[in-house]
Amino acid sequence: MPFGQPDKREDGEQLAEVPLNTIVIEDEQATDVLWEAIRSKIRKGIWTLLANLPLSDQHSDQPCDEQTKIKLLHDLCFLYPPDEIWKGYKNYRRQLMDQYISNRVLLQRIETDIAVSSEVPSNVVSFVKLCRAVEVMIYEDAMILQEGIFPTMVPSFEFIHESYLGKITQELQSVCQTFDVNKKDDQGFLNEMVQAPGSRRGSNVSHVKQTDSKDNLIAHKHCFEAMVNLERLVDRVTSHRSENEGTGTYSVQCM
């Protein structure tokens, strides 16, 4: 917009002058290059905003819900075709999953309905919270797709497995391997106690075995509960589709 009114000739006719704050590009190719640079910069900024937003149901100094992310994704689809943004969205979710796996600070903010006892090892607690975080991620995906931002996409099992479940399985295997290592270490300790001169094969050895078995059972129980909750949500999200599959018109129940 001009800063002021254009000057007039003596006969009253306005001079056809270009305002100082106007950029004139007569070359169409140069215009395309400029627009591509502008929208690329905007796209990068929006993806950065999305990456810094917390999960929807977590307490934060900057409260956020699905609508904030939906608005940003709508903005991205205004700049680029939805299919292209969908590829970027999948990459964004994979990176988010990696952040929650590697950053224990993020997991500390996660609240879970599973009552974790104080005797449970820290890696089990982290796994339970990671499963809860994945539940929230999957629910967010379902809400976003339900908005029809990506008209031809639905929350398929393939997408969920590729983004989340494959890595969750690896984390579960890692936790279970820790149980196996601890079990071997405890068995070696028990053998030393039994073979030690003057050792008794009575209540001490039995108590260690019972304590070890109880702790492992509790740890396995928490992992099992977390996986069951996650499986139920995946089943609910992937099964609640309308007959118009692929149109973005389906429903999902709240968590």
Highest mean pLDDT, choosing among 143-157, 192-206, 207-221: 143-157
- Predicted confidence at residue 118, as pLDDT, reads 74
Q: Higher-confidence residue: 64 or 109?
A: 109
DSSP 244: S
Q: Give the mean model confidence (pLDDT) for residues 89-94.
A: 96
Cα separation of 12 and 125, whole Å?
80
Q: Higher-confidence residue: 201 or 225?
A: 225
pLDDT at 243 over 50: no
* CB-CB contact of 194 with 201 (8 Å): yes
Q: Higher-confidence residue: 64 or 115?
A: 115
Q: Read off the tokens for 30.
A: 């140069």
pTM exceeds 0.75 = no
Cα separation of 229 and 112, whole Å?
11
Confidence of residue 209 (pLDDT cuts 50, 70, 90): very low
Query: pLDDT for 15-48, tens place per residue?
Result: 556 565 566 656 778 888 988 999 999 999 999 9
* CB-CB contact of 154 with 89 (8 Å): no
- Predicted confidence at residue 132, as pLDDT, reads 95
* CB-CB contact of 151 with 245 (8 Å): no
Mean pLDDT check: name the lowest of 61-70, 146-155, 194-203.
Answer: 194-203
Q: Higher-confidence residue: 28 or 248?
A: 28
Query: pLDDT for 44-91, tens place per residue?
Result: 999 999 999 888 765 555 556 678 999 999 999 999 999 999 999 999
- Predicted confidence at residue 74, as pLDDT, reads 95
Q: Taking Cα atoms as reference points, which of 115, 120, 118, 116 lies closest to residue 216?
A: 120
The domain ranges of the chain are 40-167+219-241
Q: Taking Cα atoms as reference points, which of 63, 72, 1, 86 lies closest to residue 42?
A: 72
Query: pLDDT for 124-144, tens place per residue?
Result: 999 999 999 999 999 999 999
